[in-house]
Amino acid sequence: MIMNKENALYLAAEQPFFTNTHRYEDFIHGVMSRLNKGISLNIIGLGDLQSHIGKSTTGSGISGDVKTGAGNGLCEDIKNGSGDIRKILGNTDKIIIAGISSQWLSSAAALAISSGIRPISAHTDSSLLIKGTSSVTFDYYTAASDLTMQMLQDGRKHIVFFGMDPDPYSSSMKYLGYHDTLAASDVRGRNIQGTGVYSGSRSMQECTGLLLSNLSGIDAVLCVNDYSALILINALKTKGVRVPEDIAVAGFENTIAGSVAEPSLTSASIEYYESGRKAVEICNMMDKDALLSGISLTLGCTLHIRGSAGGVLSSAMSERGSSPGAGIGMSTGNSSAGNGCRPGYSPGTGPVAGSVFNRSLCTEGTSEKFYNDPDIHEVIALENMLRQCDDFDGMILGRIAENMKYEDMAEDLNMSEKTIQYRLNKMLASSRKRNRADLLSLINKYLSGYGENALTKAAARIAAARKPF
């Protein structure tokens, strides 16, 4: 693999994309797993998140090297559609651009192409960006359609779409999958603001308050992500609404927090690790053909049907996911980007005729607001902590839930008190909580259900959660 004379692959990152540490780690590990030895990965624009790179790759068994710090100002220039990208990238002819907002990705792609560099976007469809952009994205439409159909098959008749999400592409495709499935089933969501959507530029508190004030008749909710879903379930719990008995809830991203919650959260996996691998595979294809551009690859989303949505998913739907090497379209020269077939689609499926790609569902520029929303920020911190927990951490949380003293924990777990306190301090730091009482409050808020021993059960589940690396 020849990336350039420096044997380096460049990746420009919009910082909000990596605010979720686990998303960042999965994607970077996916990229590096496909690098040949001697190829370094040069990451541009991570700012204060650079320190995570060495931590996330240490002991992972992946090849390659990571360098940071060069050209961090480029990402600020990208916002303005300017910047001397050649000065930073030298004679490379390709760059991976990883971001959340379509505005940033569009500017990055345009800046690269104007400099004679072929961009590979993660994770917005290339058809929405400047001609000649390649992309790796996810089949949000089919996943949302399948989740909606699952709830319909479970007897739900009044399903609404909920939450705020910084990515207008993913939000819109999820909404279309939900909307088209309801339309085809002749079942309509409640007409809130003319769309059936509790979303837009509201804060999570406002968004949740609006839904709670209009619960009459609603028996299922499809959320744009697990973070919104966990916040909603907690809000429903405080109102005495049972999940899934009264209202079924489903989300996206398959977080550990969702999987260990009580009830466990029905969700669709977003495989960031695989998207990193595929981005490098596109680079490899371009290395073999200097004229190749506009490669488009769509990955399937695997569904995980759990307690929050009830019912049993059919085997055909539960096995739906990405197919290695499938879903690729490409073009050469200056022809338009190919869209290719999408894994999980059958002829005639996809957005129905008359569907509108509705960018108004989530306005541009909301990524910063989303990640600074206090409720979203809290759930992401919880997820980041859980991703770092091992079996011993889970057992410690279980003992804390039982209000054990450190000396009793040490005897019970055959550990020193110093080791237990060290591990607890790491969990406090990653969850951004001050003490064990605050940490327990956080776990109880989002992971516990309705039984007296729910917190202990949730803590026990954490021990069973497997780290990806």
What gap in Å lies between CA 23 and CA 33, rounded to an integer?
Answer: 15
Q: Where in the sequence is the domain holding 416, given as residue range(s)?
A: 389-464
Domain match, 259 and 403 both: no
| pLDDT surpassing 50 at residue 99 | yes
Q: Is residue 215 part of a domain?
A: yes
Task: Average the pLDDT over 359-385 and give the result.
Answer: 71
* Closest C-alpha to 113, from 156, 140, 78, 147: 78
User: What pLDDT is stored for residue 454 in this prediction?
Assistant: 66
Q: CB 262: neighbour CB atoms within 10 A? A: 21
User: What pLDDT is stored for residue 35 in this prediction?
Assistant: 83
User: What pLDDT is stored for residue 245 in this prediction?
Assistant: 93
Domain match, 153 and 245 both: yes
Q: Is 79 helix (H, G, I), strand (E, B) or coil?
A: helix
* AA letter at 72: N
Which position has the higher pLDDT, 238 or 351? 238
User: What pLDDT is stored for residue 448 in this prediction?
Assistant: 80
Task: Average the pLDDT over 300-326 and give the result.
Answer: 60
Q: Is residue 304 part of a domain?
A: no
User: What pLDDT is stored for residue 192 in this prediction?
Assistant: 34
User: Between the CA atoms of 63, 328, 363 and 10, what dihedral angle is there, to the nearest 10 degrees?
Assistant: 30
State both tokens at 222: 């499809």
Domain match, 12 and 133 both: yes
CATH code for the domain of 443: 1.10.10
E strand spans, 246-357: 248-252, 266-268, 292-299, 303-304, 328-332
Instruction: Kindly report, residue by residue over 164-185, the tens digit of the pLDDT.
Output: 666 778 888 898 999 888 888 8
Q: What is the pTM of this model?
A: 0.81
Task: Average the pLDDT over 141-164 and give the result.
Answer: 90
Instruction: pLDDT band for 354, please (50, 70, 90 cuts).
Output: very low
Instruction: pLDDT band for 45, please (50, 70, 90 cuts).
Output: low
Across the beta sheet with 248-252, what order do the strands follow? 197-198, 159-162, 220-223, 248-252, 266-268, 303-304
12 contacts 98 by C-beta, under 8 angstroms: yes
User: What pLDDT is stored for residue 274 in this prediction?
Assistant: 93
User: What pLDDT is stored for residue 78 in this prediction?
Assistant: 58
What percentage of the chain carries pLDDT values higher than 90?
29
Which position has the higher pLDDT, 197 or 201? 197
Domain match, 255 and 275 both: no
Which position has the higher pLDDT, 187 or 398? 398
| pLDDT surpassing 50 at residue 267 | yes
| pLDDT surpassing 90 at residue 371 | no
Instruction: Kindly report, residue by residue over 399-448, the tens digit of the pLDDT.
Output: 888 888 999 999 999 999 999 999 999 999 989 999 999 998 998 899 88
Domain match, 20 and 88 both: yes
Last residue of a domain, one of 225, 247, 269: 269
User: What pLDDT is stored for residue 221 in this prediction?
Assistant: 94
* AA letter at 381: A
| pLDDT surpassing 70 at residue 344 | no
User: What pLDDT is stored for residue 129 in this prediction?
Assistant: 82
What percentage of the chain carries pLDDT values higher than 70?
66
Instruction: Kindly report, residue by residue over 70-89, the tens digit of the pLDDT.
Output: 444 455 555 555 556 777 77
Domain match, 221 and 277 both: no
User: What pLDDT is stored for residue 339 in this prediction?
Assistant: 29
Lowest mean pLDDT among 103-107, 372-376, 455-459: 455-459
Lowest mean pLDDT among 98-107, 126-135, 235-244: 98-107
User: What pLDDT is stored for residue 423 in this prediction?
Assistant: 94
Lowest mean pLDDT among 183-192, 339-348, 374-383: 339-348
266-293 burial code (b ≥16 CB/10 A, e <16): bbbbbbbbbbbbbbbbbbeebeeeeebb
User: What pLDDT is stored for residue 19 in this prediction?
Assistant: 59
Q: Is residue 383 part of a domain?
A: no
User: What pLDDT is stored for residue 65 in this prediction?
Assistant: 42
User: What pLDDT is stored for residue 395 in this prediction?
Assistant: 85
Q: Is residue 65 part of a domain?
A: yes
| pLDDT surpassing 90 at residue 300 | yes
Instruction: pLDDT band for 187, please (50, 70, 90 cuts).
Output: low
Instruction: pLDDT band for 214, please (50, 70, 90 cuts).
Output: confident
Last residue of a domain, one of 329, 344, 359: 344
User: What pLDDT is stored for residue 415 in this prediction?
Assistant: 93
Average pLDDT of the chain is: 75
Q: Is residue 372 part of a domain?
A: no
176 contacts 200 by C-beta, under 8 angstroms: no
Domain match, 165 and 180 both: yes
Q: Is 297 helix (H, G, I), strand (E, B) or coil?
A: strand
Task: Average the pLDDT over 224-235 and give the result.
Answer: 94
User: What pLDDT is stored for residue 151 in this prediction?
Assistant: 92
Instruction: Kindly report, residue by residue over 273-297, the tens digit of the pLDDT.
Output: 999 999 999 998 998 888 888 899 9
CATH code for the domain of 15: 3.40.50
Q: Is residue 153 part of a domain?
A: yes
Contacts of 84 (CB under 8 A, 6+ apart): none
Domain match, 155 and 81 both: no
